[in-house]
Structure 1
Amino acid sequence: MPARRHNHTPSDPVAERKVRQVIEEAASRNTQLLGELEATAHAPGLFNNNQVKIEHVDKRLADLEPEVQAAIATANQQLKQHKSYRDSIGKKLVYTVLKKKGVFDEKAMREEKAYHEVLEKRHRVEAKLNELKADKASLVIEMKELQALLGRHGAAHKEIDALYSRIFDGPTAGFADEDEQEEAHKVAKLALQERTEALKAAVRGVKAAQAVKVAIERSLFEKQRASFDNHSDIFSQRGVQTILKRCVAYINRGLELSDEAVEAIQATPGPELTQAKKTLDGLFIAARVVAQERYHSKSANSELIERLGATLTKALDAQKKYVEAMKKVSESRRGSIRRTARALEDERQALQQIRQSAFETTVGFGAAAPAYNECCDRAPRFEHDSHQQSASIAEPVVIELPEDAEPPPDYMYYEDGIARPKQMEAEPGSNPQNRASQLDSVVLQTNHQGLPEVT
């Protein structure tokens, strides 16, 4: 790591003496803690290795136990066959009377041989199972011993961190290099916090994009209800129109979630994400245009509902691509977390080394022995902690509308029959238009089959 060079004002001699006095008073405890770290340094690595070994043994046990049970069942079945010749006086008598005792003896020998073969196989797999169980038992005992050492090791790390923090946090008179490195450590820590917030934002975007699927599926369910009502004589066409209003409400919710997803990432979306959103929103708008049409004949409504279903099905495919594009953003930020966690750990280790050197220069190498050696890399822990913060983010809710709701709650219907969520109402004095005019470069066309296309 390149040295940082700065100009420093002369240190206050009184303040510097106080710092050195504190270091001298803590030197004995520092030495004890360093000795404890050295004595238990092997525990973390062995503990992790043993965990992996136990996982492998558990997998082999899980694979072998069914094989053992099958071998036992086969041996028991073969034993019955063997006994049917070995212990059956009646069967032996019949063969003797028929002067076929040689045939009987041959079959009995064959069954006995088969039994011994399956019995030998049973013993082999049982021996292997017992060996694995013994290996695991030995590992479990060793893990208990390592667990105690691991606890001691962690406690020593925690105490030495607290000791150094108490002595050196903030301006430390007489140790300008420590102040510089402490500042570098703070900057690295802040950078990881910023990357963590960026990752949480991306995860919120992914969750919102995933929730779009729920809105589409509920729209498709309303489309199915509308189709049923349209073909049933006991329902009026007004009922079909009411159901289509509910479909519009879910479509509007899908559009809201689409916006929420891209807004959540708090960054300008790249070309792939922009195109994925544009395609999805275009299909939503096309579906809404169809669902807002009003007819009073079964045939016209049937054709309308068919177009609506086809467009919403396309929207499902577009939603998948939107989620994939959003996930690329979150994966990129996960990679940034990994690099930043590594940088933070490098700065932390450098800070610990400088702080230990302060003990060495103040009280001498002998009093501070053994020398400080960073035995535990904390970068994976920093990375894990960042990911944990984003793991609890919940997917946005798509509220299910009550079946008897007309019009759907939280939505208003204007005289033109177009449904709009309240938050999309136009400002006073403005000309209310549907959302199609609010999206950049989205043009809806109709192909020769009457299905809306997005260009």
Structure 2
Amino acid sequence: MSSSTFPLQHTVDPDIKHNFSVPVSQKSVSARSHANDASSALPGPHTQPISSRHQNQPTNATSISSRKPNQELEVSAELFRNRIVAVASTNSALLVTLRDTSHAPAALAQKGVHIFKLREELSEQERAIEDVERRLEESKPRSNGGGFLLVLKQASLSIFTLLRRKKTKASEQSPLDNAGNGTSTAEQKDADDTAYFTLLSEKSRSQQRKNELLQQIESSSDEEKDLQLKASKHETAHSDLDNLYNSLFSGPTPGFPSEDAAESAFHRVQTLHEGNTATVLARRRAGQFIQQVQRNWKNAGIYLKDASIRAERGSGILGFSDVKSDLRNVEHYATIAGTGLEKSMLNLAPLGPEIYELAQRMEGIVRGVRSVSIPVASWGGKAELLEAISGTKQHWESGNEVLEQLLYAAKEEERGARLEVRESARELDERRSALQQVRQEVFEQVAGFGEAPPAYHNCCSRTEAYKQQCDVVVELDDEETAGTVEQ
């Protein structure tokens, strides 16, 4: 049977803690091996050093050597318990602070939403007041001048009535018409006055609501400041408690194997989550590299278009020099695009079948552009130039389609990686919560409850904070964007 190329080796994870091992037995020391020992020539068993006497007693040596690690473990456990007792009051005070301020973070978020809605309503009331004031300003001249206009209208109607009576057909003018006109004018004035006072009442109500909103915002802002202080104390207590537990429990915990197991489980999930976060960032970088490739590919298309126009109009060797220069630029940007494509694939590794196929197609397109451009740019005539430009244009158009597909595939890879981050973030918070519960139970076993609440309560989930570790802006440095020029 053939052996494996890479033999299986035992590896040790530095993040996984191991319990202390106590030797069960020890090989007895042969008395014959110490026959020539100078200490064995001393007269009498009591005149020999203790170590020499135990060398001739293998049974006792085995007993003592097997008891020594146990004694060291007991001493370490006792020292650890003493350390816990020394900081028990600090632990209790921090837990009490967390309990008393546990409502602050959620209440602060709700208060912020409440103030935001109050400010929105305040803006609406201010706009309503401005609209009412504008309408009042428009109706104010009619209201103030209504009496003068009424007198003027009545005088005009009186004169008009007298003139009409002098006519032979005065009977056609009914006296009720004039009375109706006067009544109509009075009714119009009453309607204008009613509308004016209605606007004043509306403005008064809006102003009253505005004042109420200002008072509520001021009161809510004061409450928000108080909640901010409590939330800050709560966050500080969490940080201090984390630092306290890390200083005590980091590494092997003698006498408490359950804490070692919980911490090992936490570190395993933490390593997994960090790997998922790095994958998201790598996929995001891949998308940026593909966008960089698209910019270089666009630049190649600009020079390709210029070369096509000049090739159609040019003639002679000197006339085609600019065309050849444009094709060299096309080849230059195609080469840079190929380099960026390789960088994007490195950040997408391991490649799936779809992305691998698209990458292979794009590499072939880049090679096609270069193979067409380089020879013709060196020695081609007009017919060869036109043929080269036509072939290059086909490759360039195909490259645009493939790059769009690659960019979409890279974004899909990032979405999938983010789903894994969400899952690992949730599991990591569960492991962290379980680890903190075990550590608090260690304090309760060693030092008692004190003033701290006996029941563990995970007041603040850190799942969202773990998720947001991948919500960072990834920027390519100058070396990675070398050669890319916007046209």
TM-score normalised by L of structure 1 = 0.75
Q: Say which SS state the counterpart of residue 471 (structure 2) adopts.
A: helix
Distance 1:45 1:157 in 2: 15
Once the two structures are TM-superposed, the CA of residue 272 in structure 1 deviates from its matched residue by: 2.8
2:86 aligned to 25, 49, 53, which one? 25
**Residue 265 of structure 1: aligned partner:** 348
Structure 2 residue aligned with 1:326: 410
**In the alignment, which residue of structure 1 is the partner of 2:30?**
none
Q: Which residue of 1 aligns with 2:150?
A: 92
Please list the CA deviations of residues 256-275 of structure 1 after superposition, one character each: whole Å capped at 9, or x if unmatched: 222221221231x2233234
Deviations 1:285-338 (A, max 9, x none): 5555554546644x8866765665565345334322211100111111111111
Q: Is the 8 A contact 1:203 1:393 kept in 2?
A: no
Report the counterpart of residue 342 of structure 1 in structure 2: 426
Per the TM alignment, residue 40 of structure 1 is displaced from its structure 2 partner at its CA by 0.7
Name 2:233's counterpart in structure 1: 152
- The aligned runs of 1:269-418 (5 Å cut-off) are 269-288=351-370, 291-292=373-374, 293=376, 296-297=381-382, 305=389, 308-309=392-393, 311-366=395-450, 369-388=453-472, 391-394=473-476, 396-397=480-481, 399-400=483-484
Correspondence for 2:113:
52
Letter of the 2:265 partner, please give it.
Answer: A
Describe how 1:169-184 pairs up with structure 2 within 5 A: 169-184=250-265
Q: Is the 8 A contact 2:96 2:451 kept in 1?
A: no
1:214 corresponding residue in structure 2: 295
Aligned residue type for 1:215: N
Whether the aligned pair in 2 keeps the contact of 1:359 and 1:368 (CA below 8 Å) is no
Q: Secondary structure at the match of 2:87?
A: helix
- For each residue in 1:5-58, what CA deviation from the matched residue of structure 2 results, as whole angstroms up to 9, or x when unmatched? x98646611111111111111112211111111111111111122233344445
1:394-443 deviation per Cα after TM superposition (whole angstroms, max 9, x unaligned): 3852635699xxxxxxxxxxxxxxxxxxxxxxxxxxxxxxxxxxxxxxxx
| CA-to-aligned-CA distance 1:366-413 (integer Å, 9 cap, x gap) | 56545442211112112212333xx2333852635699xxxxxxxxxx
Unaligned runs of 5+ in 2: 1-17, 23-69, 158-180
Contact 2:365 2:396 survives alignment (8 Å)? yes
Contact map agreement 2:101 2:234 (CA 8 A) in 1: yes
1:365 aligned counterpart, secondary structure: coil
Mapped partners of 2:208, 2:392: distance in 1? 65
Residue 144 of structure 1 deviates from its aligned partner by: 0.6
Change (3 A) 1:60 1:273: farther
Instruction: Output the amino acid matched with 1:274.
Output: Y
* AA at the equivalent of 2:356: T
Runs of 5+ unmatched residues, structure 1? 1-5, 404-455
Aligned alpha-carbon RMSD (Å): 3.3
Amino acid corresponding to residue 328 of structure 1 in structure 2: E
Q: Cα offset for 1:230?
A: 4.2
Pick closer, same or farther for the CA change 1:305–1:23 going to 2, 3 Å.
same
2:288 partner SS: helix
Alignment-derived partner of residue 99 in structure 2 = 38
- Equivalent residue letter for 1:253: I
**Count of matched residue pairs:** 391
Structure 1 distance, partners of 2:20, 2:123, is 65
Matched letter for residue 259 of structure 1: E
Write the distance in 2 (CA, Å) between the matches of 1:312 and 1:266: 26
- Aligned residue in 2 for 1:444: none
Q: Is the 8 A contact 2:143 2:196 kept in 1?
A: no
Paired with 2:468 and 2:217, the residues of 1 have a C-alpha distance of 28
2 CA distance for matches of 1:111 and 1:194?
A: 75
Q: Is the 8 A contact 2:334 2:366 kept in 1?
A: yes
Deviation track 1:148-168 (CA, whole Å, cap 9, x = no partner) reads 001111111112222222222
Rg comparison, structure with higher value:
2
Residue of structure 1 in register with 2:38 after alignment: none
Using a 3 Å threshold, how does the CA distance of structure 1 residues 252 and 376 change in structure 2: closer, same or farther?
A: same
Counterpart-to-counterpart distance in 2, 1:315 and 1:291: 15
Residues 1:238 and 2:321 aligned together: yes
C-alpha deviation, 1:127, in angstroms? 5.1
